[in-house]
Structure 1
């Protein structure tokens, strides 16, 4: 009988709760048609026309070191790469399939180069593995809601053996857990309909993963998809429970708690534009200031942000992504102390921004998005609690205001930001309030 080990769990997720910010990388054959990673399903594209992209795959500009360096310079602490997406194409040299990057004109083990480059930059390594597989002959075709052949009357599921597929899937996960050194994050995707938990032979799978990678943290998608919390949140953890919840394309209004009201580890996975895989005509990129503030929002609610980049067919990050990462990195360079190791505070959210808190250093970080008229109220903090107030970016002292203008509010501490009505950083000016 499975017994949840709370102490082991807390040790596993300690680094993750400190890191707060990671990069997601969606990349594969689908970068060539450039219409998203779900192209086969959305367009109900048969395998044969999709195979041309396999025969063409040769990303001559791919440089894992450049990818890893971009993540580090943006202030990210871990990077997760799609080792295999739903189309079944593997970016690693699996012995169980010919449908892999080493058999394309490119001829290289991309996962090997990725893990080496990410570790060289001092970052944590994450690998994404799709539980779905539209290439494998034993994965359901007609009786699956997502398969490209679901409406193809010339295709049958007769003779397909799902257990044979599961043997294949488990064997590939074993390869990832064995051949590439220490893996920090294993990101499964995803459970749906009747394919949940033990349908994937989840207990067997996680026993194998934990035996090979005892410190790896795993998302909750052996049980759910981008919606749903999983068994840990329900207070009845299964052997294949998720170490963290993975809301997709949204930030939970109040963070995420279990049935007992305790905060859970969670991570909002978010695209820069509207697409995961490279999509040539998707130019709806979120501005860097917005993404900075959304990262702060995640941390202020006790969560992480996993921000996606979809490299193009040549292996390059889109120019817009590079520019956004550069701007985020410039802000993180000065303000990362308000992100790393921080989480929610017990104070009310201020009207002008948000608060992140580092319990270990007894520091509150007030993220100020708009200036006040007069001194800035630090509601919830008493004067006798405060040791110092500093601009985080410069270290400059911010005095406590003694102006008569707020004498009607003797129980509120006001910070004197001076006469300039324009904040030093119009995106997010951070005040570090050190408590005694």
Structure 2
């Protein structure tokens, strides 16, 4: 039986805290209507109305090796794919349902291909699995807050056996923990109302998961949703506690701490536009420079960023998503040392950007230039060993200008006379300190 052990917990979290940047992928039948992954619920579709997408799904352009290469080139270290979303459709070959990719025109186990592709690119493998299932007869329909048939009294719950559904759900989790080799991350989604914790048979579920995948990292959504912290934050971890907190579509205003003041692992899951699943009319993409700065913000507060891509009906990444990933990748190639293995710096946040740190090196991220030399707040001037421009390694001198003579205790860096930064998105100064 699984019991929380702080030392074992910290060890399995090492790669995750080092990685800092991952890719989320939402893909399934909902990519065909292209109005978001909740379409069955928001439009209150019946199974029969939704069936046409099952019959059409062919994954004709599904090339997971290309997905993994794009993630790697963007500087991401892990990937998480929706093995099953709330509509109940499985991208994997489950023996417990006919509602799966192997029974569509695609005709194959897409999760198997994904897992192999991600491993081949040297990335950590993650799978998303929802606790909800709008296809299963035994899942509550009428008056459930999320079910497509929530407003249909003719779909009452009198003859539904939720215990039977839980057995079905557990067996599917066992399949994905058994049939695809070592998983590095398992992303459950999500608890709501009274549907949380032991309602999901969570202790038994996690005992099974941990016996099959002892090193796997698990999110906190057996207890909470995109809001809420979970029992690890309360310093009274349940057997099904989350290994990390999972704020959704928001970066916490400050770093997250547990009740005893220890830093919590957390991951902001963020969409590129305004939808997780592909949406054909949503062109409101966050620009790459914004996403780079938000990644830096996450790391400066001790968190990760899981950035979503919603492939289209055929399995292609949207062109705008590809462009954004490429731009992020160009920045990460030069500046990744300020992200990987980094965390809060313990110095004041500068007006011009943010600071991350690793060991004795502080990374000052400049989102805009300063008037005059750059103040490196919080550093001991006597301990500064060297300052380098991270992107190309050239020396940045400590300023001795008279203009900052009123601030003798602050270290200033001299960038020269050009008011325009070499990198308009984020110019990073690496400041190495003596012990």
TM range (shorter): over 0.9
Unaligned runs of 5+ in 1: none
Residue aligned with 1:405, SS:
helix
Contact 1:143 1:157 in 2 (8 A): no
Q: State the partner residue of 2:433.
A: 435
Q: CA deviation at 1:3?
A: 4.2
Q: CA deviation at 1:152?
A: 1.3
d(CA) in 2 for partners of 1:94, 1:187: 18
Q: Return the match for 1:374 from 372, 375, 382.
A: 372
Q: State the partner residue of 1:241.
A: 241
Q: State the partner residue of 1:358.
A: 358
Q: CA deviation at 1:4?
A: 2.0
d(CA) in 2 for partners of 1:4, 1:26: 31
Contact 2:230 2:242 in 1 (8 A): yes
Contact 2:269 2:308 in 1 (8 A): yes
Q: State the partner residue of 2:99.
A: 99
1:98-247 pair list within 5 angstroms: 98-247=98-247
Q: CA deviation at 1:379?
A: 1.0
Q: State the partner residue of 1:344.
A: 344
Contact 1:125 1:184 in 2 (8 A): yes
Q: 1:193 to 1:363 in 2, by over 3 A?
A: same
Q: CA deviation at 1:155?
A: 1.3
Q: State the partner residue of 2:411.
A: 413
Q: CA deviation at 1:2?
A: 6.8
d(CA) in 2 for partners of 1:280, 1:177: 33
Per-residue CA deviations over 1:409-435 (Å, capped at 9, x if unaligned) read 110110010111110100000000001
Residue aligned with 1:334, SS:
helix
Q: State the partner residue of 2:326.
A: 326
Residue aligned with 1:154, SS:
helix
d(CA) in 2 for partners of 1:331, 1:253: 25
Contact 1:2 1:238 in 2 (8 A): no
Runs (4+) of structure 1 exceeding 6 A deviation are: none
Contact 1:379 1:412 in 2 (8 A): yes
d(CA) in 2 for partners of 1:275, 1:256: 26
Contact 2:143 2:151 in 1 (8 A): no
Contact 1:184 1:215 in 2 (8 A): yes
d(CA) in 1 for partners of 2:113, 2:3: 37
Unaligned runs of 5+ in 2: none
Contact 1:92 1:102 in 2 (8 A): yes
d(CA) in 1 for partners of 2:153, 2:206: 36
Q: State the partner residue of 2:315.
A: 315
Per-residue CA deviations over 1:221-261 (Å, capped at 9, x if unaligned) read 00000000000001110000000000000000012111111
Q: State the partner residue of 1:259.
A: 259
Per-residue CA deviations over 1:157-197 (Å, capped at 9, x if unaligned) read 12110010000000000000000000000000000000110
1:76-95 pair list within 5 angstroms: 76-95=76-95
d(CA) in 1 for partners of 2:300, 2:313: 36
Deviates more, 1:150-159 or 1:101-110: 150-159
Q: State the partner residue of 2:389.
A: 391
Q: State the partner residue of 1:279.
A: 279
d(CA) in 2 for partners of 1:403, 1:246: 46
Q: CA deviation at 1:383?
A: 1.5
Q: CA deviation at 1:281?
A: 0.5
| TM-score normalised by the chain length of structure 2 | 0.99
d(CA) in 2 for partners of 1:238, 1:322: 40
